[in-house]
Structure 1
């Protein structure tokens, strides 16, 4: 079983790979030195900004293509882009490698499908607020220090405050979809880390995205049909794919090679704040005083998580 473990300062960093390929492969992060210079925390934050603004753009596209159609376009375009840029090798991988990629792809398809179904029923801010409960739960389950539970609790308080202290006024089906997406998000974190260790660069991500696109294609065709062939819809869907899939998934995969799952999950508590900002700028959803206070809480929790991780020293990842 894969394990992510923190080592004390001065311990070596060990990230073994089961792939026989050691030469660098072109990826969407490829200018990897520049991207890597952000550090794992910077990669996660950049990915969060990208995915939430992509989500806001997706909401404006739903009247044209439907929620399932938007997900289909997002996954298809992302798969094509990643295949062209990464050119992943299909050889030299074990059965366990392929099993990990398939599980990762199915998880991505489920996560996206459930989340966009929630966006069709409830606003962006509350949807992301509910979804982030999945990573927060993961942070508590995987953490080995009580202090991380404190940061998770602080972030959780902010999450509920951002949702107005409760969700009784929201569509219950939309709430259920958002919570399901949160469970898939927690699963995504686990399989993203495993895929990043088994495949060089973003090869595993590219292959998993193809799996996700193939799984979702019949659903998108059933709901939207020829609407998916409209040039404007394709252009907007491509923008959503780049912002919501290609950039954030690549950045997060790279970050998870150097960041424990527990710290990564707590950083995800920033997503409601970013979503609220994207909703304000793109969807004209105003921020309330309670939402501003919630943003302050989740930022404080994330800063505390980062400081705790820095104090723990380097990270060792074992398979």
Structure 2
């Protein structure tokens, strides 16, 4: 997903954040529908409600996140966005040990934020978009788990199709016919494959097999991966504090995963 975002930012000057979101979610829907062929199973009213909520959450999450990336750095946007799954983890915890893992993850994430006297001021609108994405991600976890339970793995295909309908009006209004530019279509397809089709499919499997708070904390590895991707792809150097933050996130993830089984037993 982090490498897909690197591709996505190249589309911003051409079709805007809204157009990029539309290409990402639209291509993802086509890929996932072709892979899962969910029409082979009848969609009941119960399925439709769960899928609609999940799809709206996916669409809003993608749109708000890309809108945030217009004006604030990738790592900061991801770290703020992760307030959503961390909140889900906190509200779902049942033992004091769970609070320890959440606290450790929060401490680690705080070290990934470039704050300090030398840091440039952050755009408040971008921060607001990132905060909205955090709320959408929390809802994505809740609704995604429900959709996965009633529909199984093909819920991600149907949910992404709903998400495409949610974001398409924004992308068309922003970019219009540029969304169909043959020169941009391969890049949009790559963004969809790396950022949505593969990650969403894997996450749906995880949502069906993990407790909600474990899923939320395990996802906190993504800011660390984003920092590493920035180092490898963009040449962004990491400070000692940021390496410490990565270690904190990884330890929190391992701790949560290792204790979840005992908690459920």
Give CA deviations for 1:105-148 in whole Å, capped at 9, x if unaligned. 11111000000001111111111011011100110001111111
Aligned to 1:89: 39
The one of 260, 266, 277 aligned to 2:228: 277
Aligned to 2:194: 243
Distance 1:60 1:93 in 2: 38
Distance 1:225 1:59 in 2: 18
Alpha-carbon shift at residue 169 of structure 1 (Å)? 2.1
The one of 14, 38, 54 aligned to 1:104: 54
Aligned to 1:5: none
Question: Following superposition of structure 1 onto structure 2, how do residues 120-131 of structure 1 map, counting pairs within 5 Å?
Answer: 120-131=70-81
Q: Which runs of 5+ in 1 are unaligned?
A: 1-50, 315-319
Give the paired residue count: 263
Q: Does 1:163 align with 2:113?
A: yes
Q: Does 1:176 align with 2:134?
A: no
The one of 215, 219, 241 aligned to 2:170: 219
Q: Which runs of 5+ in 2 are unaligned?
A: none
Q: Does 1:257 align with 2:205?
A: no
Question: Following superposition of structure 1 onto structure 2, how do residues 7-86 of structure 1 map, counting pairs within 5 Å?
Answer: 51-86=1-36
Task: Please tell me whether the aligned partners of residues 57 and 282 of structure 1 are also in contact (alpha carbons under 8 angstroms).
Answer: no
Distance 2:235 2:70 in 1: 17
Q: Does 1:134 align with 2:84?
A: yes
Alpha-carbon shift at residue 218 of structure 1 (Å)? 1.2
SS at match of 1:231: coil
Distance 2:166 2:40 in 1: 19
Aligned to 2:140: 188
Q: Does 1:228 align with 2:179?
A: yes
Distance 2:215 2:205 in 1: 12
Alpha-carbon shift at residue 290 of structure 1 (Å)? 1.8
Alpha-carbon shift at residue 91 of structure 1 (Å)? 5.7
SS at match of 1:299: helix
Alpha-carbon shift at residue 168 of structure 1 (Å)? 7.7
Task: Please tell me whether the aligned partners of residues 134 and 184 of structure 1 are also in contact (alpha carbons under 8 angstroms).
Answer: yes
Task: Please tell me whether the aligned partners of residues 164 and 290 of structure 1 are also in contact (alpha carbons under 8 angstroms).
Answer: no
Q: Does 1:148 align with 2:120?
A: no
Aligned to 1:47: none
Distance 2:100 2:121 in 1: 29
Alpha-carbon shift at residue 280 of structure 1 (Å)? 2.3
Aligned to 1:19: none
Give CA deviations for 1:35-65 in whole Å, capped at 9, x if unaligned. xxxxxxxxxxxxxxxx111112211221222
SS at match of 1:224: helix
Task: Please tell me whether the aligned partners of residues 89 and 203 of structure 1 are also in contact (alpha carbons under 8 angstroms).
Answer: no
Alpha-carbon shift at residue 204 of structure 1 (Å)? 1.7
Distance 1:300 1:165 in 2: 23
